[in-house]
């Protein structure tokens, strides 16, 4: 703050220690200046207060610009129907776009522009794909409203990420056992592990699950991502873990102070405790382990869809059942081969015939 303020400008300190400024000419009324001190907006408001006029209103984005289109989209019904997680993710993308290309005419955005922006993020495929998805949502909506003549995202492919071939690593049985040995029943880490493993919920839903969702030994919850309603039993292993652990009032998984986690803060915390146990550290990978177990125990595709909140005909459930069936067939084939080998070893006559046949084949060759 300068040693001496301009004419009619006064400074006061609130009881919270914050400096506030106001203009007062003579014994007239006080006009509070809300803008930050010494900014252009502050001095505009100061001059307006001296003359008794309202400060000029800040103009919004130009009609038809990309920033204007984004503003329209985030006020639409279609935007409000997206999940909170999707809106948050896309907001991050749109704020960047508004700062770098917000003044460009929306109708002038071409496919090459989308490709160039995607490729600019190629070192981070996940961020690049989030950008493409955000622009698809924006221009798909704009097409329906006739704000743009064509969708520039049409035909733009997502980039391949490091997890695309096999997906997130599914925890092995050895890794699950290692975590369980590190964190016994009754600890907060073990309860988080058990909730993820025995409910099949994703991270965002697992941190919301609590006693209000449970009735008659079953939990009912609407999933954050798809909006599907999942109704499933509280398995005995999970029930024992809940009973032995200090939980929150509304959620089973909670912080040291008993407060609910956000899914982001939970991910950070869960990653740390997993690394301490020398385990992968992925909540999604633990969910995959639960799906694998269910499939190996004979769950059908329809049952997996119901347990994990997947849509009917889901590719995920089909993958798990096919993998489990292949593993079962492989084990059965291996058992048959071993039994046949043991049979030949225990039958001297069969072994002798096999030996003579082998000699004939060698002579012929």
Tokens of 316: 């995920």
Contacts of 63 (CB under 8 A, 6+ apart): none
CB 9 within 8 A of CB 21: yes
Q: Is the pLDDT of residue 2 over 80?
A: no
Is the CATH number of domain 173-318 1.10.443.10?
yes
| Torsion region of 270: left, alpha or beta (phi above 0 gives left; psi -120 to 50 gives alpha) | alpha
Residue range 258-265: mean pLDDT, rounded: 90
Residues in the chain: 365
Tokens of 360: 């004939």
CB 87 within 8 A of CB 49: no
Of 29-43, 114-128, 238-252, 333-347, minimum mean pLDDT range: 333-347
DSSP 161: -
> Of 265-269, 306-310, 313-317, which has the strongest mean pLDDT?
265-269
Alpha helices per DSSP H over 277-347: 283-296, 301-308, 315-346
Q: Is the pLDDT of residue 252 over 90?
A: yes
β-bridge partners, 12: 20
Q: For 220-236, what is each residue's pLDDT tens digit?
A: 998 887 777 888 889 89
Residue range 88-97: mean pLDDT, rounded: 92
CB 8 within 8 A of CB 45: no
Helix-helix angle 283-296:315-346, to 10 degrees: 50
Residue range 182-206: mean pLDDT, rounded: 92
| Per-residue confidence (pLDDT) for residue 173, from 0 to 100 | 87
pLDDT band at 208 (very low <50, low <70, confident <90, very high): very high
Q: Is the pLDDT of residue 195 over 80?
A: yes
- Reduced to 3 states (helix: H, G, I; strand: E, B; else coil), residue 211 is helix
- The rounded distance, in Å, linking the Cα atoms of 177 and 174 is 5
Q: Which residue has the higher pLDDT, 83 or 235?
A: 235
Residue range 348-355: mean pLDDT, rounded: 56
Q: How far apart are the first and last CA of the chain?
A: 101
| Per-residue confidence (pLDDT) for residue 303, from 0 to 100 | 72
- Reduced to 3 states (helix: H, G, I; strand: E, B; else coil), residue 239 is helix
The residue extents of the domains of the chain are: 9-51, 66-144, 173-318
DSSP 232: E
Q: For 156-190, what is each residue's pLDDT tens digit?
A: 999 886 654 445 678 888 999 999 999 999 999 99
Q: Which residue has the higher pLDDT, 300 or 103?
A: 103
Q: For 40-82, what is each residue's pLDDT tens digit?
A: 788 888 888 888 776 555 567 889 999 999 999 999 989 988 8
Map tokens 């001190």 to a residue. 37
């Amino acid at each position: 703050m300068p040693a001496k303020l301009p004419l009619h400008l006064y400074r006061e300190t609130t009881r919270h220690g914050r400096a506030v400024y106001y203009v007062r000419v003579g014994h007239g009324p006080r006009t509070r200046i809300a803008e930050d001190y010494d900014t252009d907006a502050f001095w505009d408001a100061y001059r307006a207060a001296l003359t008794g006029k309202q400060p000029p209103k800040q103009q919004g984005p130009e009609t038809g610009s990309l920033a204007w289109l984004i503003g329209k989209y985030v006020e639409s019904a279609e935007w409000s129907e997206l999940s909170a997680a999707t809106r948050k993710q896309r907001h991050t993308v749109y704020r960047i776009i508004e700062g770098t290309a917000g003044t460009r005419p929306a109708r002038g955005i071409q496919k090459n522009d989308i490709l160039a922006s995607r490729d600019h993020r190629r070192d981070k495929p996940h961020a690049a794909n989030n950008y493409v998805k955000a622009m698809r949502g924006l221009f798909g909506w704009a097409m329906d409203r006739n704000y743009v003549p064509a969708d520039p995202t049409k035909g733009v492919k997502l980039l391949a990420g490091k997890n695309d071939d096999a997906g997130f690593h599914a925890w092995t049985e050895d890794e699950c056992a290692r975590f369980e040995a590190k964190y016994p029943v009754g600890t907060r880490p073990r309860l988080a592990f058990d909730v993820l493993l025995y409910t099949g919920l994703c991270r965002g839903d697992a941190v919301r699950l609590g006693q209000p969702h449970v009735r008659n030994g079953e939990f009912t919850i609407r999933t954050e991502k798809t909006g599907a309603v999942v109704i499933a039993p509280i398995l005995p292993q999970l029930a024992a873990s809940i009973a032995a652990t200090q939980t929150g009032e509304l959620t089973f998984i909670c912080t040291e102070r008993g407060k609910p986690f956000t899914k982001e803060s939970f991910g950070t915390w869960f990653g740390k405790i997993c690394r301490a146990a020398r385990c992968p550290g992925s909540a999604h990978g633990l969910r995959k382990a639960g799906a694998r177990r269910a499939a190996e125990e004979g769950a059908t595709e329809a049952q997996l869809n119901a347990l994990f909140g997947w849509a009917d005909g889901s590719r995920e459930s089909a993958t798990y059942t096919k993998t489990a069936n292949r593993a079962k067939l492989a084990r059965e084939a291996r058992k048959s081969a071993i039994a046949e080998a043991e049979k030949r070893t225990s039958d001297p006559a069969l072994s002798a015939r096999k030996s003579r046949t082998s000699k004939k084949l060698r002579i012929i060759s």
